[in-house]
Amino acid sequence: MTQDAKIKYAAVGCGGMGRRHLRGFGALHHSSMANMQLVAAVDTNLEAAQFYASEAHDLYGIEVRAFASVAEMKAGMPDVQAVDVTTDTGSHHRAVLACLEQDLHVLCEKPLAITTGACDLLLAEASRRHRVLSVAENFRRDPINRLIRALIDDGAIGEPRLMIETTIGGADRIVITPWRHMKHTGAITLDEGVHHADMLRYYLGEVATVYGETRLHEKVRHNTRSSGPGGFYARYVNSFPDTIEPTGEDAIYAHLRFERGTVAHWVNDHAGHGRGQSGRFVYGSKGSIDSPGDRNGKPVTLHLTGHDPISGAEILQYAPSYRLEPLAAELFGGERVWTYEFEFNATDAKIMALELFELGECIRTGATPEVSGEEGRRDVALTYAAFESGRLGRPVTLDELLQASHGPAYEYQAEIDRQIGLL
């Protein structure tokens, strides 16, 4: 594609994840299917936008203009058609709305917004203006998760009966940034938990009911000066306080029933001391699947009754429908990749390239993105289901959660909406 035919876009939010998305642009830029051109960087902290622009120049030799607001950017560069929003979670509803109001198509980092009510604002505006609203939910785009989904759909383990989704760790450390521990800016259980809500739904379809509880275990957290995923936060950690007093819950414990009848046990505990755990297992009427986790490229293991565990290339026989889309096949080395070996940052960038590419294709063809605004909203609703169930002391249905403030299960989220001025 010629440079002129590419869709010009701006990065909005130039912190840790924004800089990871810049590497995603790089992976797309160097592929044979580059369809997006980064031309601007916007951050309310202009220094962050300028640093991002200088990194873009150093890494890819491109000219990126820095701005402190989307309105200034659009006024100065009217041919920009799209934005890639990676502002902190609690600001998504404001940042994305500002972009939609400028008639820009949007790719927004997960979670789409801090409550389902905040998501509704964005869905309504995107629909009114006929703009693409896509959510950057990266775990499901890992080829290994595509393979697992095909194994389930193709009946490799028979009828799924149980999924166990577990994340335990974190102790009393500040996880990545202080804002991830505050209820009104996107607590870690929303910020990280929403990935797992998406994986549960991606593997097994829609959830019917949730019974759960949440906790705020750690009342004080400490800055361990960790450089965070991919090392991108080293630049910021010295500006964080030594200790913080969290207001947002750090653990979800939930029992789910899917519409298809499968149940799931979901633990998302970021206050775990002792032995950390991270596991994802699906059990069915003929066998089980062990996921190796996300973005590490390790093989999946299939256990079938009466067979030795299967984790080599022969696993592909059990997933005949498995095919990666063309750009994923190019970036990961084949249509039916069952394992890969790349550094974390390289894998991360390839997956983000897929998200950016899809945005460009949706703008060009009018197609709906895989994780549309509505899908992203459902992930937020599922994440909050255990919060609302715990408040009400009863199971809640996902339908109740999807009714947002009009429904009977919106106590916890209503408190956030009041605090941020939406109710």
Ligand X SMILES: NC(=O)c1ccc[n+]([C@@H]2O[C@H](COP(=O)([O-])OP(=O)(O)OC[C@H]3O[C@@H](n4cnc5c(N)ncnc54)[C@H](O)[C@@H]3O)[C@@H](O)[C@H]2O)c1
Residues engaged in binding ligand X (CB under 6 A) = 12-18, 42-45, 48, 86-89, 91, 94-95, 109-110, 136, 138, 176-177, 191
Question: Which single residue brings its beta carbon nearest to ligand X?
Answer: 15
Q: 360 vs 376, which CB is nearer to ligand X?
A: 376
DSSP designation for 381: H
- When the beta carbons of 121 and 263 are compared against ligand X, the nearer one is 121
Closest CB to ligand X among residues 278, 305:
278
Cross-sheet strand order for the sheet of 82-85: 65-67, 36-42, 7-12, 82-85, 105-109, 133-136
Q: At what angle do helices 46-60 and 16-29 cross, to 10 degrees?
A: 30
Q: Which class for 68: exposed (0-12), middle (13-18), buried (19 or more C-beta within 10 A)?
A: middle
Of 311 and 419, nearer to ligand X (C-beta) is 419
- Closest to ligand X by CB, 44 or 311: 44
CB of 359 to ligand X, least distance (A): 15
As measured in angstroms, the least distance from the Cβ of 176 to ligand X is: 6
Which whole-number Å values give the CA distances from 311 to 203, 301, 322, 355, in the listed order?
Answer: 19, 4, 15, 28
- Which is nearer to ligand X, 186 or 287 (by Cβ)? 186
- How is residue 157 annotated by DSSP? T
Integer Cα distance of 25 and 126 in angstroms? 24
CB of 16 to ligand X, least distance (A): 4
Distance CA 189, CA 44 (A): 26
* Rounded CA separation 399/381 (Å): 9
Q: How far is the CB of 375 from ligand X (least distance, A)?
A: 15
CB of 5 to ligand X, least distance (A): 28
**Nearest one of 375, 422, 408 to 136, comparing CA atoms:** 375
Shortest Å distance, C-beta 235 to ligand X: 9
The answer for 26, left when phi > 0, alpha when psi is -120 to 50, beta otherwise, is alpha
Cβ at position 95, least distance to ligand X in Å:
4
Name which of 40 and 151 has its Cβ closer to ligand X: 40
Question: Which tokens go with 378?
Answer: 């459902």
13/390 with CB nearer ligand X: 13
List, in sequence order, every beta strand (DSSP E) within 29-78.
36-42, 65-67
Residue 241, C-beta contacts closer than 8 angstroms, at least 6 positions apart? 178, 223
First and final C-alpha spacing in the chain: 46
Q: How far apart are CA 204 and CA 50, in angstroms?
A: 43
